[in-house]
Chain A
């Protein structure tokens, strides 16, 4: 080894055996403990707060679910039984498809840039270094599977034994999915195949949803009532007990296979490249930053930013006209640039029709409003960009208020078309107008909202200092949607159904959004 005056040069033989990841983790823990600035009591308080919050939310949610299950199970119409029979064919492919997409976008196995540079680039066993991240993903997939299936089945009135079986089987299915994504993460080609499968499953989920949407609501006659009661009480019959036992054995076998697969997939983690694990780490870091501020728009920004970074290059298309016309034209071209969003936006039209098909007419406007909000909000990236950049507003040479109006023209046109297509399910043009206005004003408010500012006065809370209004941030946008739909939900006349959303829209577009 040379002295401090010259370069320090080594031969690999100067170094000893490569340590295990456990030894390194232990070293890091020791170093970090030396810098700990929180007492055991303070940490205990934090843990207590989390456990208490989870227990409270779990108890409340569980109670609500229990009541809804009781109410749904008491439903004796043919619609209810048909719905219960159809839901698995929508829910399961939708869950697997969503899980595939989410897991592939974060890796599923991910690591921070720091870990990638300081640890993954060393000869330490990569599989062992990545195992904690893998365990976390597997656990999360299992929990999501169990909770989503339990909620999905319970909401539509399935018997609790059926809910349990569905939760177990869905958990196993999502564990298989997780293992498949770990295998897919190893090469770009496999990842592309997995994404195509996810798209296929989405289409598979849309088919029964469409059937539900076009189905005529049957009359609850005596025959269907008898049939439905039979469906809900099948757990007591001996032949169904045998079926239950078979299902239980099948579930147990599937669970064992899933555990074996999880172990086997865990052994292949060393085959993952640094590049693939860091990409997910970057995305998670961005999402975590957005989640801390409870800023839904920022979450969407992170996802959109990643999408365009991966695209890298597009064919340039020249604009038309000048001033506002040019900007509207550019917005139109920009919306067309991400066709998947448009396809999903139009696919969401199935929601109001499907809810109408179930016979829950009172829920149709709110379901349509929420689906429409989800359809139109992703089309507002342009508005979002100008609202978060004072420099961009200055460069464009207009007031932010004017820009907000201009940037809303294309999404507004889309909202009108979407609501018009949903009109047969909504029942009247006035309701369709209220839905269009609600989804547009809500989405505009959310897209143009300021992020919570930590530079101003803060409010003390058990979680530390937080900006005022932090917890209302996720509700921004949905509040206007609800106000626009209030006359519909309250059963007011068509005049009020049109007037209230019109006033909301006029106020929204007349005022200038605030900027930090």
Chain B
């Protein structure tokens, strides 16, 4: 029997920030339908690991494999399969909340995304804000919209950086439910978090990072 290829494999990852190592020899694997939480204090390199995985930062050494193949964000399959939510979200000032999601769904090949967008907006509790422009959203609403972006597109791997940030208690509870359901549907989740309750509810494993002196 052949051994199943992990959805994500990180082997010997090393990253330098201005010649100073911030990640040294990090190795872990993430299987389909499982979740790994990256935990650790500020400056430990959690976000940097996520950035290396989504291609926003270049590792100095090591290997990152998605379904057994080296990950390259320029590849069409990677862009299709990896949904990420880091601090790089920005908006078109003249498109409404619904239009943003509509655009994303269309770009992923859904020619009639109207129902899907409404469903997702309802799911993230933003149906009432569907016609608002991004400039008029509160920071919590922006966060919910950001989370919604992962739900209107196909995904095999979710990469989330502190997804609980700026969400109220009910929002964090909803987030935990949503992520658990994502796992059940076969999506793999890698997330960095400072929220112990969210980590307990969602993560199957934790990877603890410590700042390198």
Interface residues, chain A, with chain B CB atoms under 8 Å away = 1-4, 6-12, 14-19, 23-24, 27-28, 31-32, 35, 112-114, 116-119, 121-124, 126, 188, 270-275, 278, 311-314
Interface flags for B90-129 (1: CB within 8 Å of A; 0: not) read 1110110001100110111111000010011011000000
By the criterion CB–CB under 8 Å, are B181 and A15 in contact?
no
Interface flags for B28-61 (1: CB within 8 Å of A; 0: not) read 0000000000000000000000000001111000
Residues of B within 8 A of A123 (CB): 76-77, 79-80, 107-109
Residues of A within 8 A of B116 (CB): 1, 8
Residues of A within 8 A of B95 (CB): 28, 31-32
By the criterion CB–CB under 8 Å, are A117 and B151 in contact?
no
By the criterion CB–CB under 8 Å, are B20 and A313 in contact?
yes
Provided the pairs A28-B103, A35-B94 are in contact, do residues A10 and B155 lie with their beta carbons within 8 angstroms? yes
Spot the interface stretch: B2-10, B81-89, B161-169: B81-89
Provided the pairs A6-B181, A123-B80 are in contact, do residues A312 and B58 lie with their beta carbons within 8 angstroms? no
By the criterion CB–CB under 8 Å, are A121 and B84 in contact?
yes
12 pairs of residues in contact across A and B, judged by CB atoms under 8 Å: A6-B181, A7-B178, A7-B185, A8-B116, A10-B153, A16-B109, A113-B90, A118-B103, A122-B108, A123-B108, A123-B109, A270-B74
A200–chain B nearest beta-carbon distance, Å: 25
Residues of A within 8 A of B77 (CB): 123
B25 at the binding interface (Cβ < 8 Å): no
Of A4, A24, A314, most B-chain CB atoms within 10 Å? A4
- Bound Cα distance A444, B178 (Å): 57
- Bound Cα distance A10, B81 (Å): 11
Closest to A27 in B: B106
A122 contacts which of B58, B88, B153 (Cβ < 8 Å)?
B153
Residues of B within 8 A of A2 (CB): 181
Closest to B72 in A: A273
Of A15, A19, A119, most B-chain CB atoms within 10 Å? A15
A133–chain B nearest beta-carbon distance, Å: 15
- Bound Cα distance A314, B18 (Å): 8
B74 contacts which of A17, A118, A271, A312 (Cβ < 8 Å)?
A271
By the criterion CB–CB under 8 Å, are B106 and A24 in contact?
yes
By the criterion CB–CB under 8 Å, are A4 and B122 in contact?
yes
A310–chain B nearest beta-carbon distance, Å: 9
A9 contacts which of B58, B99, B182 (Cβ < 8 Å)?
B182
B69–chain A nearest beta-carbon distance, Å: 16
- Bound Cα distance A121, B146 (Å): 14
By the criterion CB–CB under 8 Å, are A313 and B17 in contact?
yes
Closest to A119 in B: B107
Closest to B146 in A: A117
Residues of A within 8 A of B108 (CB): 15, 18, 122-123
By the criterion CB–CB under 8 Å, are A7 and B123 in contact?
yes
By the criterion CB–CB under 8 Å, are A113 and B88 in contact?
yes
By the criterion CB–CB under 8 Å, are B90 and A121 in contact?
no
By the criterion CB–CB under 8 Å, are B109 and A118 in contact?
no
B154 at the binding interface (Cβ < 8 Å): yes
- Bound Cα distance A10, B120 (Å): 12
- Bound Cα distance A122, B152 (Å): 12
By the criterion CB–CB under 8 Å, are A312 and B18 in contact?
yes
By the criterion CB–CB under 8 Å, are A311 and B100 in contact?
no
- Bound Cα distance A33, B95 (Å): 11
- Bound Cα distance A114, B74 (Å): 17
By the criterion CB–CB under 8 Å, are A273 and B17 in contact?
no
By the criterion CB–CB under 8 Å, are A7 and B104 in contact?
no
B204 at the binding interface (Cβ < 8 Å): no
By the criterion CB–CB under 8 Å, are B103 and A27 in contact?
yes
